[in-house]
Structure 1
Amino acid sequence: MNKWFLRLASLFVVIGLLAGCGAGEEDQTGSNNSNMQPDTNESVDGELSEDEVRITISKDNQSEYIAEEEIEIEEGAILMDVLQENFYVKTGEDGQFITSIERVPAEEDEKKAWLFEVNGETANVGAAEYELSQGDEVSFDYRAWE
């Protein structure tokens, strides 16, 4: 009887040590480390870093948000390229017109399409021609175009 008790107690000690060692690894990765300094490229209070743009994807005049990303860009970046690198995007055969973003397809029979604005203003050119500037806020909205 004592042998079984000793073995059982030893097993609990080993399990306790393993569980304790596993919890210590989490702190070393920085997930709960309050001493870490923020990355200089991260936004603070919703503001963009100097080399970022914010792209928001929504539906029906922004009544339903699908995705939003703050993306670091290089000078001269084209909106369509940045969009395709960071979201699931399909275009027409010529690559000029967006037919789907994040698996939400444009529906010509419903007269709905993907429309976009940059800094609150409708762009004069398509996404494949629009050159982004650092700090731009781009909003793609799936809505009726009439």
Structure 2
Amino acid sequence: MARLLVRPGIDPDEPDVPVVALLVDPDGPPAERAVARLGTHCYEGDGVLHLVRTDGWAERALAGDRLLVEVAVYPAPLDRAGVDLAAFTGRSSVDPEAVLVLRAGAAVEPELYARAAPATVVFTAGPDETLDDLLAGGEAWPMVLAPPPEH
């Protein structure tokens, strides 16, 4: 199951700004494997991988202290990544053409989340790796998912 965290100290350029982070296992369930594979279709920049918003994004919703993050991706990038689209039947509420690939939720501090950066970052990590492990290693290139496009 993907792990969802909100915490500062992830973005070295803005260490005090909280960031919404997902940790996905590249050998885990189909949803996590699909998101991990998207990294091959990103462009590199400043130590991160950017998924172009025309390919996919992260939708976030806070209800009380419960944060829900959904990763939505259009079929073409998923197909290029070798993802079996039949495994994903959900659709984005922003654009029904986009497939909901991954859904993760967690209890968060609403005040912390209110200060969070608009983008969501995705780290590829095995089940025994923590976010602190990844950040300490300094070699993790997270994938940055923009907020949804506005229609």
Please give the range of the TM-score, normalised by the shorter of the 2 chains. Answer: under 0.3
Q: Larger Rg: 1 or 2?
A: 1
Structure with higher RCO (Cα < 8 A, 6+ apart): 2
Q: Which has the higher strand share?
A: 2
The two structures have a TM-score, normalised by structure 1, of 0.26
The two structures have a TM-score, normalised by structure 2, of 0.26
